[in-house]
Amino acid sequence: MIRVEPALVVALAPHGEHAVVARFLSADQGLVAAYVQGGRGRKLRPVLQIGNRVALDLVSRSAGQLAFATIHPLSTNMAMLHGSAALALVDYLASLAAATLPEGEAQSRLFPLFDALFGGAAAGAGVADIGPALVRLELALLAELGTGLDLASCAATGATSDLAYVSPKSRQAVSRGAGLPWADRLLPLPAFLLGLGEADAAAIADGLALTGHFLGRDVLRDSAAAKRCWTARERLLGLLLR
């Protein structure tokens, strides 16, 4: 038996009359799928809600077999108290984890970012806090999936200052001077991602457009789960950036 704590509930699928196959995200175990007996019953249904924090006792009878999980509640995500944007954030975060992360690989870097954003939804945090954190999560996810961006220096000149764009082809930053003649072909790089300045509404929109370009092109494509995730992202951004 393995104890996993904490873990975030990110996906649920009915199994038979009363059970569910659930997927959880944790730092040490990464994305984990498990069979939960009675998961649709009166006792466990409130615990097994998307975004909730739980502890798991996982038991596997043999390698490659779906684990059996005993669930212990830790905290309930109260995003439903804070309106449609908070609920949309929970939906997107859960679908993003379930659609993109490989099962069984530790996620010590990504888990705290997901956990903090789920917590922000539960607390009703505003776009000024949610927006920059979401951009950073998506950047970190791209890096973990091997499609990260290089924002350290200019692709054309090697300069490390006045970086203002990102090349869609190389995924590398471009300085203002070098990129200005081709600005319409480049993606704006918001200064807050370089530790410069505040993240206002325009900068947040630019950051989400930047990460969205690479997520849509390189990650969230082909599979039905990826397409559902992209739809959830579009709904969230429509609420956050309106």
pLDDT band at 60 (very low <50, low <70, confident <90, very high): confident
pLDDT at 17: 87
Residue 71 near residue 49 (C-beta atoms within 8 A) = no
Q: For residue 71, what pLDDT is reported?
A: 96
Q: Which residues of 158-191 are buried (b: 16+ CB within 10 A; e: fewer)?
A: ebeeebbbbbeeebbbbbeebbeeeeeebbbbbb
Average pLDDT, the chain: 95
Q: How many CB atoms lie within 10 A of CB 88?
A: 21
pLDDT tens digit sequence for 198-238: 899 999 999 999 999 999 999 998 899 999 999 999 999 99
Confidence at residue 65, expressed as pLDDT on a 0 to 100 scale: 82
pLDDT value, residue 1: 83
Contact 149, 104 (CB under 8 A): no
- The model's pLDDT over 119-143, given as tens digits with 9 standing for 90+, comes to 999 999 999 999 999 999 999 999 9
Overall average pLDDT of the 169-191 stretch? 97
Residue range 57-78: average pLDDT? 90
pLDDT at 197 over 90: no
Q: Taking residues 81-88, report their average pLDDT.
A: 96
179, 186 contact by CB (below 8 A): yes
pTM: 0.95
Q: Does the structure show a pLDDT above 80 at 61?
A: no
Q: How confident is the model at residue 28 (pLDDT cuts 50, 70, 90)?
A: very high
CATH numbers and ranges of domains, the chain: 2-75 (2.40.50.140), 79-150+189-240 (1.20.1440)
What confidence score (pLDDT) does residue 242 get? 83
Given a cut of 90, whether residue 155 has pLDDT beyond it is yes
Task: Point out which residues pair with 12 in neighbouring strands.
Answer: 22
Other C-beta atoms lying within 10 Å of the C-beta of residue 38: 14
